[in-house]
Amino acid sequence: MDFTLYNKHLKDLMRWFFPETCPLCAQQLGNKDAQNTPYCSQCTASLPYLKHACLRCGQPFSHTAAYSDNTATGYALNQLNSDIDIDIGHEHTASSSVDHCGKCISHPPSFDHCFSPFEYSAPISDEICRLKYAEQPQLATRLAELFVDELLAHDIEQPEALLAVPMHSKRLRERGYNQSLELAKQIAKRLEIPLINDLVRKKTHTRKQTTKTLIQRQSNLKNSFAILKNKHYQHLAIVDDVITTGTTVGEISKILKKNGVDYIQVWSIARTR
């Protein structure tokens, strides 16, 4: 018996008797929508796609060209151009061929590449907040599905393995699960990439980062992570739900590189401005 075909027919039958609805607008999903995305086509098209950002740190550029598509194809993937016109910080006034911000050219982070397909705004920000704070770990499934669709659309190089941002045991007991790990599990499953949980741990229980400045975040997280095992990976991707300043993934990247990892990507569902 062909179980793959059997499961497909079973799912089609279930949709016939129990039609799926879009979790954002409650509209009934057609067969095509239900098979391809977790949302209806209208809601999918209106998601806050991040269309132009620094390839190194993922910081969105303020001044971008107008793109007519809704799949973030404007995301710059070309090599650093020689005609760069750099401003202070993350802003730039260069042509649309520039793919690194001024800060990353002068003071690059410890990781090598960041991919965040969405801006941290509604409804993606609402979904992430429910995942983190409303005891809804199942939301990781549909967020990971959206992420993988965009990752493959952009032909992003895939690593040897994935690593979720670790959570301190005290915070883990409070929340009951690590939302970054839930996302990483689903992404690893869809891409068929190994997920490693025993490489890095959060050794220090730090205060929440939400309201802190960049300097405060850096001080709060300094030396708070530790390597458990060196498995001699050369290319890893760190998975998180949202990147704000990049401090957390930066600290993890530092210790990974000190222990022989050559190339580190940062993958997140969203990036703040």
Predicted confidence (pLDDT) per residue in 232-254, tens digit: 899 999 999 999 999 999 999 99
Same domain, 251 and 131: yes
Asked whether residue 113 is assigned to any structural domain, the reply reads no
Check whether residue 130 and residue 16 sit in a common domain: no
pLDDT category of residue 135 using cuts at 50, 70 and 90: very high
In a domain, 202, yes or no: yes
194 and 83 belong to one structural domain: no
Question: Residue 19's pLDDT is what?
Answer: 74
Let me know: does 187 contact 162? Beta carbons within 8 Å: yes
Is residue 18, in this structure, part of any structural domain at all?
A: yes
Reported confidence tier of residue 224, pLDDT bands at 50, 70, 90: confident
Residue 82's pLDDT is 32
Say what the pLDDT of residue 45 is: 92
C-alpha to C-alpha distance for 231 and 261, rounded to whole angstroms: 9
In the numeric block, which tokens belong to residue 193? 């990439």
What CA–CA distance (Å, rounded) separates 250 from 240?
12
Is 69 within a domain?
no
Residue type, 85: D
Using pLDDT thresholds of 50, 70 and 90, give the confidence band for residue 44.
Answer: very high
Strands 225-227 and 200-202: antiparallel
pTM for this structure? Answer: 0.78
**CATH code for the domain of 200:** 3.40.50
Number of domains in the chain: 3
215 found inside a domain: yes
Assess whether pLDDT exceeds 80 at residue 258: yes
Give me the percent of the chain exceeding a pLDDT of 70: 71
Q: Is the pLDDT of residue 108 over 90?
A: yes
Predicted local distance difference test score (pLDDT) of residue 152: 96
Domain that holds residue 91: 47-63+74-108
State the average pLDDT over residues 85-89. Answer: 34
pLDDT at residue 91 is higher than 90:
no
**E strand segments, the chain:** 113-115, 118-119, 161-164, 200-202, 225-227, 235-243, 263-271
pLDDT at position 212 is: 55
51 and 81 fall within a common domain: yes
Residues 53 and 128 in one domain: no
Q: Evaluate whether residue 99 is within a structural domain.
A: yes
Confirm whether 68 is domain-assigned: no
- The string of pLDDT tens digits covering residues 11-31 is 566 556 667 889 899 888 876
- Cα separation of 148 and 70, whole Å? 15
pLDDT tens-digit readout, 156-168: 999 999 999 999 8
Query: Are 167 and 80 found together in one domain?
Result: no
Give pLDDT tens digits for 194-212: 999 889 998 887 766 555 5
